[in-house]
Amino acid sequence: MKLKHVLSLTLMASSILLAGAASAEVKIALVAKSLGNGFFEAANVGAQQAAKELGDVKVIYTGPTTTTAEAQIEVLNGLIAQGVDAIAVSANDPDALVPVLKKAMQRGIKVVSWDSGVAQAGRQIHLNPSNNALIGETNVKLAADALKALNVDKGDVAILSATPTSTNQNLWIAEMKKVLPKYPSVNLVTVAYGDDLSDKSYRETMGLLKSYPNLKVIISPSSVGIVAAAQAVKDQGKIGKVYVTGLGLPSEMAGAVKSGATKSFAIWNPIDLGYAATYLAYDLVKGTATKTEASMGRLGKVKLDADGSGAMAEPFIYDASNIDKFSKIF
């Protein structure tokens, strides 16, 4: 009887341990380029939606206060020390983060980069918001449309980027330059960098307006830069003479569209992006992702290339016809 009692207690203890293991919370860190950025805050909304759907996931939303690789590395080291199960990061630098993320993977932490990628050695999956070539061409087409609205056959256009090392920005700019021959009205004069900071982006725009008196369009593929550029154009009394376009959030760009500083702009849904990145991280933790595809939940499967990269969706155009609707959403 005594032996049976011991066996019974052992089985009960094993059952409790197994139940605890089965219900263990999966901790996924969603790491932004910087905190206080509306794009990444919207991505966190999607990540929390994914966590709620999955049920056994806790999303830790974090990031540095400055858009530097050094500040991001410090955040990542803290997450490794916490022992999170997965890290989903939008990188401030594609190469500088590789050593710390290699350390994470060596400790069994799954790594996804999203929005702005990490070099292949530092992650398992990279989720592009869209196809880089399509994003690049969309930006140039928006500039050409703006020039047409200004009744200009050929006009000076400048790009206001984020940081000089931002992976996605540099890829998009390269794609923009590739398609310029298809858009002869677009005369690209320079690329400036606002470092994804409102005040610096504003100052850089003021500098562009001064240095290029014939400037007609500013393309900013940065959700921070585009808002700052539109404000600078308005403050300088250039509405109707200079258009700002690029990638931005409807909630932050509604004023620019209504003031006339912006005719149209584009963006994918950052809520969906954070949602998809969380599902990809979860798929890796559970071991259900493959080398060719992984789950994005309600968004379906993402097809992965030989480098482990995939694209979520095409960018969407926003203008006066739809800005009110979407500005209420994100």
Closest CA to 222 of 243, 192, 242: 192
Question: Could you please report the per-residue DSSP string of 257-312?
Answer: HHHTS-SEEEE--HHHHHHHHHHHHHHHHHT---SSEEE-GGG-EEE--TTSEEE-
Q: Do residues 140 and 263 both lie within one domain?
A: yes
Q: Do residues 120 and 146 both lie within one domain?
A: no
- The whole-number pLDDT of residue 314 equals 83
Q: Is residue 245 part of a domain?
A: yes
92/109 Cα distance (integer angstroms): 20
The model's pLDDT over 276-320, given as tens digits with 9 standing for 90+, comes to 999 999 999 999 999 999 999 999 999 999 999 999 988 999 999
Contact 238, 314 (CB under 8 A): no
Number of DSSP helices (H) and strands (E) in the chain, helices first: 11, 14
Q: Do residues 143 and 235 both lie within one domain?
A: yes
Crossing angle of helices 132-149 and 167-179, in 10° steps, is: 60
> What is the biggest distance separating any 2 CA atoms in the chain, rounded to whole angstroms?
96
- The whole-number pLDDT of residue 24 equals 86
Closest CA to 218 of 183, 249, 262: 262
- The whole-number pLDDT of residue 23 equals 56
Q: What is the DSSP letter of 107?
A: T
Q: Mean pLDDT throughout 50-67?
A: 97
Q: Do residues 255 and 278 both lie within one domain?
A: no
Q: Mean pLDDT throughout 24-32?
A: 96
Which residues sit opposite 187 in a β-bridge? 156
The model's pLDDT over 240-252, given as tens digits with 9 standing for 90+, comes to 999 999 999 999 9
The model's pLDDT over 87-110, given as tens digits with 9 standing for 90+, comes to 999 999 999 999 999 999 999 999
Which residues sit opposite 135 in a β-bridge? none
Model-level pTM? 0.82
Q: Is residue 291 part of a domain?
A: yes
Q: Is residue 194 part of a domain?
A: yes
Q: Which residue, chain included where needed, has tokens 């006066």?
A: 320
Domain at 177, CATH number: 3.40.50.2300
Say yes or no to pLDDT of 3 above 80. Answer: no
State how far the alpha carbon of 45 is from the alpha carbons of 19, 163, 216, 220, 282, in Å.
30, 25, 36, 24, 17
Say yes or no to pLDDT of 163 above 50. Answer: yes
- The whole-number pLDDT of residue 5 equals 46
Q: Do residues 213 and 247 both lie within one domain?
A: yes
Say yes or no to pLDDT of 14 above 60. Answer: no
- Report the SS3 class of residue 76: helix
Closest CA to 46 of 267, 298, 304: 298
Q: Is residue 222 part of a domain?
A: yes
Contact 51, 278 (CB under 8 A): yes
Q: Which domain holds residue 206?
A: 132-267
- Within 10 angstroms of residue 193's Cβ, the number of other Cβ atoms is 20
Last residue of a domain, one of 242, 267, 292: 267
Per residue in 107-146, is it b (16+ CB within 10 Å) or e — as a string? Answer: eebbbbbbbbbbbeebbbbbbbbbbbbbbbbbbbbbbbbb
Token output for 159: 């790009």
Q: Mean pLDDT in the chain?
A: 93
Contact 115, 273 (CB under 8 A): yes
Q: Is residue 326 part of a domain?
A: no
Distance of CA 193 to the CA centre of its chain: 17
Contact 329, 250 (CB under 8 A): yes
154/164 Cα distance (integer angstroms): 27
Q: Do residues 220 and 299 both lie within one domain?
A: no
DSSP H or E stretch at residue 31: strand 26-31
Q: Is residue 8 part of a domain?
A: no
Say yes or no to pLDDT of 1 above 90. Answer: no
Number of domains, the chain: 2
Strand order in the sheet with 309-311: 57-62, 26-31, 86-89, 110-114, 125-128, 309-311
Q: Of 16-25, 38-47, 179-188, where does mean pLDDT reach its minimum?
A: 16-25
323/330 Cα distance (integer angstroms): 11
Q: Do residues 302 and 252 both lie within one domain?
A: no
